[in-house]
Amino acid sequence: MTSSLLPERPLVISPTLASTIGLEEAVMLQVLAELIDHRPACRLSVRPDLVFASFSDNDLQQAFPFWAVIDIKRVQANLQSLGLIAVELDTKAERSILLAIDEARPSAEAEAPQPAAMPQIPPRSKAVTGSATLIEPGWQPDQNWVKQCLQQNIPEPFVHGLVGEFVAYWRDRGQARFSWGNAFYKHVIKEWRKEQSRKGAWEKSSTMSPQWVPSEDAVGILINAGINPSFIEDAIPEFILYWRERGIVAGAWNTKFIEHIRRQWGKFSAAFGLDDTPKVIPANWQPSAECYEIFQLAEIDEDYARSKIPEFLMYWTDTQQVKSSWNTVFLQFIKQDWARKLKQLETADLSHGENQTLVGSGQQRIEEKFKRIADRSWAE
């Protein structure tokens, strides 16, 4: 029977295999076995008994479109740790690996019936008879599964310490499984990761110290955001006092400091009108009183500057560009336009030779005045 819901051949997975090694691992093992049978084969001197096939990252992604790349790597590593596949680097192709189904593993106990192309499963604590069983009261993990845990750098006391609660949990639930060793192995991995995460977070946590200072990276982030370094330095004692009085244990003091400084700087900027957010020019914009004071110091006629406001407004309104300071843009505009006016006046009154000297000196005089006025080194 065909269906629009099944546009391609479905995957066929052995239930016994899935319950033994895990569903994801069984899916990948089945797909790889079929792909290796239909790809060019090669043999390596390190494992002459195995048939390898080359797979690129793209090949694996196309074979398992339902997994992300990180999931493919994770399941592949699980199969490799279980000894069901062999992985070697493909030196002939960039970003490619050689994969083989490791069917050469000896088995000391009876195995569940498997298709001819499927590999043998690692030894378990109890022979599989084709049906799931309840966990026994005195169950202990087989040494092979303990060895798998040790290969993940998990201490053996930690492994054995989980046996009691594992047995009690599954006896209370009354569920049957084909492989309690595999279930225990996954339980140990899960608990070890939790322990590492908890331990790592606790070791990094601490109370606020009187000698605490923000890291260079934190200060650099704040300075790059346009915050004055002196403002940052002055805020450190207040920040330390605030958190010392509360006695809170935390592990991300630099992050908290960055958030604190950004909030305080926002309040400071708003209080003093230091909003440097780029914006389009308002329709009723007028230069500030400070602009006219600078024009006076630069000996630029104030009435001339006022006469240029409509032209300035029309140009920037039409362009719809955003600027952080329209006063600065207006100062630059008037400076250049006033220099052009001086040049035109002197050209009309002076000869060519004298004109070059006076125009040049006039331009230089304006430039020097504006350099002095626009000097902001004192504010650094």
Q: What angle do CA 339, 345, 348 make, to 5 degrees?
A: 140
The verdict on residue 193 lying in a domain is yes
Burial 232-269 (b: 16+ CB within 10 A, else e): beebeeebbeebeeeeeeeeebbebbbeebeebbeeee
Q: Provide the domain limits for residue 360.
A: 289-379
Q: What angle do CA 203, 205, 209 make, to 5 degrees?
A: 120
The pLDDT of residue 108: 37
Angle between helices 180-204 and 163-173 (to 10 degrees): 120
Q: What angle do CA 212, 216, 218 make, to 5 degrees?
A: 80
* Residue 24 and residue 77 in one domain: yes
The verdict on residue 235 lying in a domain is yes
Kindly report the backbone phi and psi dihedral angles of residue 87, in degrees, each rounded to the nearest multiple of 5, phi listed first. Answer: -125, 130
DSSP type of residue 311: H
Q: 233 is written with which tokens?
A: 């330095």
Widest CA span in the chain: 114
Boundary of a domain, candidates 101, 128, 153? 101
The pLDDT of residue 127: 39
| Domain total in the chain | 4
Q: Return d(Cα 35, Cα 32) in angstroms, integer.
A: 5
The verdict on residue 10 lying in a domain is no
Q: Beta strands 85-89 and 53-56: pairing type? A: unpaired
* Residue 298 and residue 368 in one domain: yes
- CATH code for position 62: 1.10.10
* Residue 84 and residue 26 in one domain: yes
* Residue 229 and residue 298 in one domain: no
* Residue 257 and residue 336 in one domain: no
Q: How far is CA 337 from the centre of its chain?
A: 49
* Residue 373 and residue 305 in one domain: yes
Q: Residue 53 in contact with residue 92, Cβ under 8 Å?
A: no
Q: How far is CA 3 from the centre of its chain?
A: 41
* Residue 198 and residue 231 in one domain: no
The verdict on residue 277 lying in a domain is no
* Residue 31 and residue 91 in one domain: yes
The verdict on residue 278 lying in a domain is no
Name the residue type at position 7.
P
Q: Return d(Cα 12, Cα 31) in angstroms, integer.
A: 9
The pLDDT of residue 380: 45
The verdict on residue 350 lying in a domain is yes
* Residue 83 and residue 26 in one domain: yes
Nearest CA-CA partner of 148 in 125, 128, 126: 125
The verdict on residue 35 lying in a domain is yes
The verdict on residue 125 lying in a domain is no
Boundary of a domain, candidates 67, 101, 135? 101
pLDDT in tens, the chain (380 residues): 455 656 677 778 888 888 888 888 889 998 988 888 888 888 877 777 888 888 888 888 888 888 888 888 888 888 887 888 888 887 777 777 888 887 654 433 334 444 444 444 444 444 344 457 889 888 999 888 888 888 777 888 889 899 999 998 888 888 888 788 888 988 998 888 887 776 655 555 677 888 888 988 889 899 888 888 888 988 898 888 888 888 777 767 888 899 999 888 877 776 655 566 678 898 888 998 888 888 887 788 888 889 999 999 999 988 888 887 788 889 888 888 888 888 787 777 654 555 555 555 656 666 665 555 555 554 44
The pLDDT of residue 80: 83
* Residue 234 and residue 267 in one domain: yes
Q: Return d(Cα 92, Cα 96) in angstroms, integer.
A: 8
The pLDDT of residue 107: 39
* Residue 309 and residue 341 in one domain: yes
Boundary of a domain, candidates 182, 203, 224? 203
Q: 273 is written with which tokens?
A: 């009108």
Kindly report the backbone phi and psi dihedral angles of residue 97, in degrees, each rounded to the nearest multiple of 5, phi listed first. Answer: -130, 160
CB atoms within 10 A of CB 339: 19
* Residue 324 and residue 363 in one domain: yes
